[in-house]
């Protein structure tokens, strides 16, 4: 069974047993999180959501991605700005996809 759900402003296409990285969620490790903003489940699409559908996930870990460098530069103006950024993430495992 496959589903598309929304979290953190992004859409994820998942199946049972998949492990995905999403924007950081405020939940403890090894707890279950339910997503009710489901757009698609096995041929059923919702406008805007599929009714009574949930994607249940287990939180595996929290962390930060590799550092990226944001460098701004304006030629001939003596402007240089260097900044780093590490995006926090949550690793999830899809436990169940529920429809009624």
Q: Where do the structural domains in the chain lie, given as residue ranges?
A: 2-98
**Does 100 score more than 90 pLDDT?**
no
CA 96 to the chain's CA centroid: 16
Average pLDDT over all residues of the chain: 96
Taking residues 70-93, report their average pLDDT. Answer: 98
* Residue-level pLDDT at 17: 96
Strands 32-35 and 54-64, sheet pairing: antiparallel
**Does 47 score more than 90 pLDDT?**
no
């Amino acid at each position: 069974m496959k589903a598309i759900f929304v979290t953190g402003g992004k859409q994820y296409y998942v199946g049972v047993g998949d492990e995905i990285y999403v924007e950081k969620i405020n939940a403890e490790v090894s707890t279950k999180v339910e997503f009710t903003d489901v757009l698609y489940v096995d041929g059923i699409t919702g406008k805007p959501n599929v009714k009574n559908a949930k994607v249940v996930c287990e939180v595996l870990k929290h962390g930060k991605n590799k550092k990226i460098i944001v460098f701004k530069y304006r030629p001939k103006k003596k402007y240089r700005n260097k900044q780093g950024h590490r995006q926090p993430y949550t690793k999830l495992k899809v436990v169940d996809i529920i429809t009624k």
